[in-house]
A = this chain, B = another copy of it.
């Protein structure tokens, strides 16, 4: 199988954006092409574009976004498709880019993901369309209500506390202060969001036991990567980061159908596959970007991905093991909590953070000597998960 690397990255600042959806994607794409040293227009080298978005059509009422973008980027007659896998759309699109090159049908693939989320109840309802269309969504369930129930189960089973979740938020906010594309570049103290006098004001309940700091914000944004066959990587401006492993797994779409509702089986299977393909283990990872749409997910994913024994992730957080400088720094980018979570961009954004770590470009949040990292991109409530292992070439 032909090997694949990443030679260009682009990332808009996450947060509320006034740009139209396609312009937002275009901004990230042009930055990634420029990073790779690719000129658009006649004679360009891009064979394929993948656009990942959950809301391109449902929320922005645009079909064929990839056809529009390939044209506005002046990349005709490159092939182009839109990919949708809920909040794991970005990881899926990178996987498809990998397959396109590994198959020999393409040499160079541009992957662009992004989201314009809208606001208020409409945005919450849009996000909820990823739940089961007959057994969950019509009954008014939301992702946050699921996460709240899941958190309660984990708390009861493993002794996780609200303070443990707050510690994750504090860590991720601290990391985001050093990430210029993060949405919430402001530190927060553990005291302020747990026992401080203004706690109820700055950290009000959202869906008990979850409070504001246990949940990621709504974010617009886009992220892009340029993939190429490793055998032609020297044609590009940047030294490649290798996509060493990709794993993906699905779980029951209805959360209620899971044998053990506190497990995230698809995270486990996807990570194991990605490690196996890379010929590495969890112990070889120097950093990881986990899908903390809710802080409880970073915790349970850190166990399912093999960094902690089951039910022990919160002990690691208490001990600072997931901070920069700790045993396995998690979400050095600020994570979905503080960097933001524009659904279709997130999987690509995670990969970009690990690329920056492996390039040694994560100023202020650099994991010294990082040689390998894991990304876990989580679709639905864990029904479709993509894990990616990147290594320094």
Identify the A interface with B (CB < 8 A).
1-2, 20-22, 54, 56-58, 60-68, 70-72, 75-86, 92, 95-96, 98-100, 102-105, 129-130, 132-134, 246, 248-254, 265-266, 269, 379-380, 383-384
Give every chain B residue within 8 A of A63 (Cβ-Cβ): 54, 58, 84, 86, 129-130
Give every chain B residue within 8 A of A82 (Cβ-Cβ): 83-85
List the 6 closest A-B pairs by CB distance, nearest first: A102-B103, A57-B58, A77-B249, A103-B103, A71-B253, A82-B84
Identical chains bound together, number: 2
B104 touches A253 (CB 8 A): no
Within the complex, what minimum Cβ distance (angstroms) separates A26 from chain B?
12
Give every chain B residue within 8 A of A380 (Cβ-Cβ): 64, 67
Question: A64-B380, A96-B96, A269-B77 in contact; A70/B250 too (CB < 8 A)?
Answer: yes
Give every chain B residue within 8 A of A22 (Cβ-Cβ): 133-134
Question: A103-B103, A129-B57, A380-B67 in contact; A250/B80 too (CB < 8 A)?
Answer: yes
Give every chain B residue within 8 A of A100 (Cβ-Cβ): 99, 103
Question: A1-B104, A57-B57, A81-B83 in contact; A253/B379 too (CB < 8 A)?
Answer: no
Within the complex, what minimum Cβ distance (angstroms) separates A117 from chain B?
13
Within the complex, what minimum Cβ distance (angstroms) separates A146 from chain B?
14
Within the complex, what minimum Cβ distance (angstroms) separates A90 from chain B?
12
Q: Which of B78, B99, B129, B249 contacts A105 (CB 8 A)?
A: B99
B67 touches A253 (CB 8 A): yes
A62 touches B105 (CB 8 A): no
Find the residue from A1, A60, A71 having the highest chain B CB count within 10 A.
Answer: A71
Question: A70-B250, A72-B253 in contact; A85/B80 too (CB < 8 A)?
Answer: yes
Q: How far is the CA of A328 from the CA of B89 in the complex (A)?
A: 41
Give every chain B residue within 8 A of A92 (Cβ-Cβ): 81
Closest Cβ neighbor of A79 among chain B residues: B248
Within the complex, what minimum Cβ distance (angstroms) separates A345 from chain B?
15
Q: Which of B67, B130, B248 contacts A379 (CB 8 A)?
A: B67
Closest Cβ neighbor of A93 among chain B residues: B81
B85 touches A253 (CB 8 A): no
Known: A67-B250, A77-B250. 14 other contacts (CB 8 A): A2-B103, A20-B133, A22-B134, A58-B63, A66-B85, A67-B383, A68-B132, A72-B253, A76-B252, A79-B95, A83-B83, A96-B99, A98-B105, A102-B105
Q: How far is the CA of A21 from the CA of B85 in the complex (A)?
A: 17
Q: Which of B80, B103, B246, B379 contacts A99 (CB 8 A)?
A: B103
Closest Cβ neighbor of A4 among chain B residues: B103
B253 touches A79 (CB 8 A): no
Give every chain B residue within 8 A of A104 (Cβ-Cβ): 1, 102
A251 touches B77 (CB 8 A): yes
Give every chain B residue within 8 A of A1 (Cβ-Cβ): 103-105
Closest Cβ neighbor of A78 among chain B residues: B250
Closest Cβ neighbor of A126 among chain B residues: B63
Q: How far is the CA of A79 from the CA of B98 in the complex (A)?
A: 14
Closest Cβ neighbor of A66 among chain B residues: B85
A85 touches B57 (CB 8 A): no
Give every chain B residue within 8 A of A72 (Cβ-Cβ): 253
Q: How far is the CA of A253 from the CA of B22 in the complex (A)?
A: 13
Q: How far is the CA of A250 from the CA of B383 in the complex (A)?
A: 33
Give every chain B residue within 8 A of A83 (Cβ-Cβ): 81-84
Within the complex, what minimum Cβ distance (angstroms) separates A380 from chain B?
5
Within the complex, what minimum Cβ distance (angstroms) separates A93 from chain B?
8
B85 touches A67 (CB 8 A): yes
B133 touches A62 (CB 8 A): yes
Give every chain B residue within 8 A of A254 (Cβ-Cβ): 71
